[in-house]
Structure 1
Amino acid sequence: MTFNSFPYSRPDLEALQTELASLRSSLETAPAYDAFLQTMHQYDDLKSHVLTMTELAAIRHTLNTEDAFYRQENAWFDETMPLLEETFQSITDTILKSPFAPQLKEQLPETWFLAAEMDRRSFSPAIIGHLQKEAALSTAYQNLIASAQIPFQDRVWTLAELEQPMNHQDPAVRKEAALAYWGWFQENEPQLQDLLQQLVQVRTEMARALGFENYIDLGYLRMHRFDYDRQDVAVWRQQVLEEIVPLCQDLYEAQKNRLGVDTLPVWQEKAEFADGNPAPCGTTEQMTARAQEMYDALSEETGKFFREMCQRRLMDLDARKGKAAGGYCTWLPDFQAPFIFANSNGTQSDVETLTHEAGHAFQVWSSTPCFPASLAWPTNESAEIHSMSMEFFTWPWMELFFKDQADRYRFVHLSGAVKFLPYGVLVDHFQHEVYAHPDWDAKQRNACWRRLEKQYLPHKDYSGIDVLERGGWWLRQLHIFMDPFYYIDYTLAQVAALQFLARMLDGDESAFADYLRICRLGGSLCYRQLLKEAGLQVPFDDGCLQETAATLRQWFETHMPEAASR
């Protein structure tokens, strides 16, 4: 069955609540552990079905935000899921309080119980209205971004499509495209600022209703931070500032030398070479066929996985009018199907996004079926290890996409991975400040971003773009609106992925075997435990980032000097 034929039907809320109440009663009155476990399986199947319909409606809405039917269905789930969450939580409480819970703990991974406890602490019927409003505001941001229609040259572009001329070989075209891109954000800044203000307000009210001082601690619970806390994250940000920011400044200086310029205004920043960045050859269909060849060569498992993705049409890769921004991978448990969403635009990011989201999809494909179904996914900082590492494990086949520009691609990819780290911790630091100061207005938020930006990204030159000079870059970062505190995860995973790359470049044949093993583990281990299982250092540990920075410098000097000098 292909994605287009997956049947969708809105759940009957009254019937669903009746069935959930019956399952809860059966859990409470189960005469023996076997009966209790059987009912748990029934509940997990029912919850998985609801989540499948939720995700199916969300996917089809993001594929075309102008589709009236799925816009309505998505809005219905925005309203309904917080109501169902109350029932789900009551059933979880019943499971945790059951006399059979000790036996269950012997069978299920600790992570399920840690997540259940965090869910209990982060929910109350008192915040249902807040959750409904939060979901509606997040959807409003997504729809606003998707609605962008920007005149440029001889046609109208979406924000995703404008990435192509923003990477053009001609700096004049890059500048014109960047001005058009950021002009849209400046024009829509009041509405975007208002959306975030409302989101900060509703999340703060939610936190205080649950007894928290502000949203930060609640945000950590909702993100399932099992084995590290905000103090660990603050230390991590400081390590990036001390070890990675200086390395990035050296990379930017080398970039300016290659381009023959004295500064890097925003329209120059993505240009690594004077004659243009590497771009993949061919259409999306051709790129997908080459990806199949690559995954067949990488391993039997990855080849089988990607063939299934293609045959079942579980990918939508092209940018187009009305399509939501960004890229993601999600899971449809009823159909045992991952789904990859992207916005290809003819730049190198098409390959990065495909391999990144394929890493997510391969992991969840590898770890199912599992029980409970929620354990198919690890927590986000662990899940991003699978995606970011897949970007590097596919390096040997980049000639398929970039031909004689493959070395250049590898150089730009690695350089971008390193340069991302300061930006990633900047987004996280900004979110901590915003939720610590929920009464800030738009000017104060912008001033905070610009102050932190000068700390983590001191090379930034926003000449001629007022919205950026005032601190408005964050307006384009959807995670800040839709997934608060989901960003430090990328940086923690990136360092793990770079360790896999180091092992791969050193000829360590066990690196990919370790990667396959942690993909199969799904959500059964905490972040630190998963790293240990993969033979990787924990980024929080003393010396990890210092050692990584030194290794990265060596990579740039020894592995890719030819690409850097071309």
Structure 2
Amino acid sequence: MKFSEMPYERVDHEELKKEFNNLFTNFAKAETGEEQFEAHKYYYHIMKNYETMSTIAMIRHDMNIKEEFYAGEQDYYDTMSPQIDHLINQYMKMVYDSEHRDYLESKIGPVAFKNIELRLKSFDEKLIPLIQKENALSTMYNKLIASANIKFHGEELNISLLRKYLISEDREIRRQAHKKESEFFLSIGEALDEIYDELVKNRTEQAKLLGYDNFVELAYYRMERNCYGQEMVKVFRDQVKEYLVPFAEKLHERRRERIGLSSLSYIDEEVHFKNGNPAPIGTPEQILLAGKEMYTELSSETKDFFHFMMSNELFDVFGRKDKRAGGYQTTIPNYNAPFIFANFNTTSGDVDVMTHECGHAFQAFLVRNEEIREHKEITMETAECHSMSMEFFTRPWMHLFFGERANEYIQMHLEHSVSFIPYGCMVDEFQQIVYENPDMSPQERKDKWMELEKVYRPHLNYENDPFFGTGGRWQKQTHIYNSPFYYIDYCLAMTCALQYKVMMDEDYGKAWNSYLNLCKASASDFFVNTIKTAGLISPFDKDCIKSLVDKLEEIV
């Protein structure tokens, strides 16, 4: 069914409670594992309908944040969702404590039971008012960012649409555009500080109510870190500091020489060529058509996937003034339909976001008919492996998007991929420091960000910019507000994606088959096991980053 034709009806909270109460009763009176699993299938039914309606409401709200009806629906689900989490937790405890657990585990798998354990550690009914407030604060932040109406070069632009000027080949235009962006963030700076301060205090209070020292431990449970913890992440970040940061700095120095500058400023951070970055040829509509050609040729599976997406209007990727900023992929369960949301802005980022989000959507399409819900509930580092690796697998078709500058795009993408990992680790370490020290002032947080910049991105010069030069850059990173501790997942995944890049240079077919198997494995096993089975080295292996850098040195 086309997205525009999908009916929407608000999920009534009281009716949903009745359905859950029926589930509790049926599960409790089941006398065998088989009967309990049959009751468990009713849980799948309840969740499919709830998630379908709440997801449709979210997408339609994000399409136009000024549309009053779906703004109201989004507020409704912000309030309702933690109450639903409470009902889910009540049921999950019954599953976890079942006397027929062995049979249930044979059906839904040990990963599911580990995730239930983490879920039970991360939620309690007494958190509901705090989570409702947390949701409202995140929505407030998103609306604040989306409110940007920047007048530049005769246009009215939001943050996404300004990007084409931020990476202009004309350095003076870049400088002016960055000044405009800085002015916007300065104008909302006090509100940004207040929202984040409230979020930190809110999340810290949640952690304390559950008996944890700080939010970091709770965040790891919320993110379902089911096979690694803080110490393993620190080992990974330390590897990045020791081996990847110096390599990334070499690439930045090469980039500086290539674009003919005596030194790199923050306004040059995403510029890779003297004549500007490669930009897609053609209109946004033509980019989608080129995507159709690419995925038709890549494999029979990707051909079927892209046709399904196009014929059912499951893309909303064209930039508009009143759209939410950023991009994502989500799934509409009742229709087994992935959906991709983005903001094309006539830069190479349009191709990045399409291949990235198509990686997510393709994986969801491959497992759309999986009957065991838990096998589709992948953790985020695994999900990002699917998306970031797809960015590399589509490289042979970049001429469709960039013409004679395809090789330049490929070079730029690799350089960006390498330099992203230090940035992502910086975001993660920053959040760890903030939540371990929740009483830091807004300025102390900004000072700490600047300290970390010197460790992870020592080449960067903010030229005393009044916003970015005083440690405000992190406030532009939506994940820090909306999805705390998510960002390290991108870094772990990019480490795996770069391994696929090395593998496909040696044998593309072998690499693609490994990737297909990784996608189909979904959440049936733990991340560290799944990537090992796929033939990749765990990012937590003490030699992983050094080995990867050694191989990349030969390529770049």
> Partner of 1:407 in structure 2?
407
Name the amino acid aligned to 1:53: M
| Aligned mates of 2:424, 2:107 — CA distance in 1 | 37
Q: Which sits farther off after the overlay, 383-392 or 148-157?
A: 148-157
Structure 1 unpaired stretches of 5+: 557-566
Name the amino acid aligned to 1:62: D
1:204 aligns with 2:178: no
- The within-5 A match list for 1:417-428 is 417-428=417-428
Q: Which sits farther off after the overlay, 42-51 or 386-395?
A: 42-51
| Aligned mates of 1:470, 1:419 — CA distance in 2 | 22
- Conservation of the 8 A alpha-carbon contact between 1:83 and 1:128: yes
| Secondary structure at the counterpart of residue 309 of structure 1 | helix
- The within-5 A match list for 1:465-476 is 465-476=465-476
- The within-5 A match list for 1:83-102 is 83-102=83-102
Show CA shifts across 1:122-146 (max 9, x none). 1111101111011110111111111
| Aligned mates of 1:68, 1:525 — CA distance in 2 | 42
| Aligned mates of 1:147, 1:39 — CA distance in 2 | 46
Show CA shifts across 1:309-367 (max 9, x none). 00001011111111111110011111100010111101111101100000000011111
> Partner of 1:9 in structure 2?
9
The alpha carbon displacement at 1:400 in A equals 0.5
> Partner of 2:450 in structure 1?
450
> Partner of 1:433 in structure 2?
433
| Aligned mates of 1:87, 1:507 — CA distance in 2 | 49
| Aligned mates of 1:356, 1:113 — CA distance in 2 | 30
| Aligned mates of 1:296, 1:392 — CA distance in 2 | 17
1:39 aligns with 2:66: no
> Partner of 2:142 in structure 1?
142
Show CA shifts across 1:61-106 (max 9, x none). 1111111011100100011111111111111111122222211112
The alpha carbon displacement at 1:508 in A equals 4.6
The alpha carbon displacement at 1:509 in A equals 2.1
- Conservation of the 8 A alpha-carbon contact between 1:163 and 1:345: yes
- The within-5 A match list for 1:70-469 is 70-469=70-469
The alpha carbon displacement at 1:483 in A equals 0.1
Q: Which sits farther off after the overlay, 58-67 or 354-363?
A: 58-67
> Partner of 1:559 in structure 2?
none
- Conservation of the 8 A alpha-carbon contact between 1:248 and 1:418: yes
| Aligned mates of 1:2, 1:508 — CA distance in 2 | 34
> Partner of 2:54 in structure 1?
54
The alpha carbon displacement at 1:373 in A equals 2.1
- Conservation of the 8 A alpha-carbon contact between 1:27 and 1:39: yes
- Conservation of the 8 A alpha-carbon contact between 1:369 and 1:376: no
Show CA shifts across 1:11-41 (max 9, x none). 1211211121011111000133332211110
| Aligned mates of 1:504, 1:18 — CA distance in 2 | 52
| Aligned mates of 1:16, 1:538 — CA distance in 2 | 41
| Secondary structure at the counterpart of residue 160 of structure 1 | helix
- Conservation of the 8 A alpha-carbon contact between 1:314 and 1:339: yes
Q: Which sits farther off after the overlay, 254-263 or 221-230?
A: 254-263
| Aligned mates of 1:464, 1:435 — CA distance in 2 | 27
Name the amino acid aligned to 2:92: T
The alpha carbon displacement at 1:374 in A equals 4.2
> Partner of 1:529 in structure 2?
529
- Conservation of the 8 A alpha-carbon contact between 1:378 and 1:525: no
Name the amino acid aligned to 1:112: A
The alpha carbon displacement at 1:423 in A equals 0.2
| Aligned mates of 2:29, 2:377 — CA distance in 1 | 31
The alpha carbon displacement at 1:397 in A equals 0.5
Name the amino acid aligned to 2:267: W
> Partner of 1:555 in structure 2?
555
> Partner of 1:563 in structure 2?
none
Q: Which sits farther off after the overlay, 428-437 or 171-180?
A: 171-180
Show CA shifts across 1:416-473 (max 9, x none). 0001011000000000001001111110000010001111001111114121111110
| Aligned mates of 2:484, 2:242 — CA distance in 1 | 25
| Aligned mates of 2:427, 2:318 — CA distance in 1 | 27
Q: Which sits farther off after the overlay, 26-35 or 186-195?
A: 26-35
| Aligned mates of 2:188, 2:324 — CA distance in 1 | 17
What TM-score, normalized to structure 2?
A: 0.99
| Secondary structure at the counterpart of residue 338 of structure 2 | strand
| Aligned mates of 1:259, 1:396 — CA distance in 2 | 26
- Conservation of the 8 A alpha-carbon contact between 1:204 and 1:214: yes
- Conservation of the 8 A alpha-carbon contact between 1:333 and 1:373: no
| Aligned mates of 1:373, 1:146 — CA distance in 2 | 34
- Conservation of the 8 A alpha-carbon contact between 2:424 and 2:490: yes
- Conservation of the 8 A alpha-carbon contact between 2:259 and 2:272: yes
| Secondary structure at the counterpart of residue 140 of structure 2 | helix
| Aligned mates of 2:13, 2:210 — CA distance in 1 | 26
Q: Which sits farther off after the overlay, 398-407 or 101-110?
A: 101-110
> Partner of 1:560 in structure 2?
none
- Conservation of the 8 A alpha-carbon contact between 1:340 and 1:357: yes
Change (3 A) 1:141 1:489: same
- Conservation of the 8 A alpha-carbon contact between 2:34 and 2:103: no
> Partner of 2:493 in structure 1?
493
Q: Which sits farther off after the overlay, 363-372 or 492-501?
A: 363-372
| Aligned mates of 2:213, 2:322 — CA distance in 1 | 39
| Aligned mates of 1:261, 1:321 — CA distance in 2 | 34
Show CA shifts across 1:386-441 (max 9, x none). 00000000000000000100000000000000010110000000000010011111
| Aligned mates of 1:287, 1:28 — CA distance in 2 | 53
Q: Which sits farther off after the overlay, 303-312 or 169-178?
A: 169-178
| Secondary structure at the counterpart of residue 524 of structure 1 | coil
| Secondary structure at the counterpart of residue 267 of structure 2 | coil
The alpha carbon displacement at 1:178 in A equals 1.0
Name the amino acid aligned to 1:278: P
The alpha carbon displacement at 1:520 in A equals 1.1
| Secondary structure at the counterpart of residue 294 of structure 1 | helix
| Secondary structure at the counterpart of residue 317 of structure 1 | strand
Identical pairs, percent: 38
Name the amino acid aligned to 1:402: F
| Aligned mates of 2:319, 2:459 — CA distance in 1 | 31
Name the amino acid aligned to 1:471: G
- Conservation of the 8 A alpha-carbon contact between 2:367 and 2:522: yes
| Secondary structure at the counterpart of residue 540 of structure 1 | coil
| Aligned mates of 1:275, 1:105 — CA distance in 2 | 58
What TM-score, normalized to structure 1?
A: 0.97
The alpha carbon displacement at 1:369 in A equals 2.3
Show CA shifts across 1:167-186 (max 9, x none). 21211111111111121111
| Aligned mates of 2:530, 2:233 — CA distance in 1 | 18
| Aligned mates of 2:42, 2:377 — CA distance in 1 | 20
| Secondary structure at the counterpart of residue 339 of structure 1 | strand
Name the amino acid aligned to 1:194: E
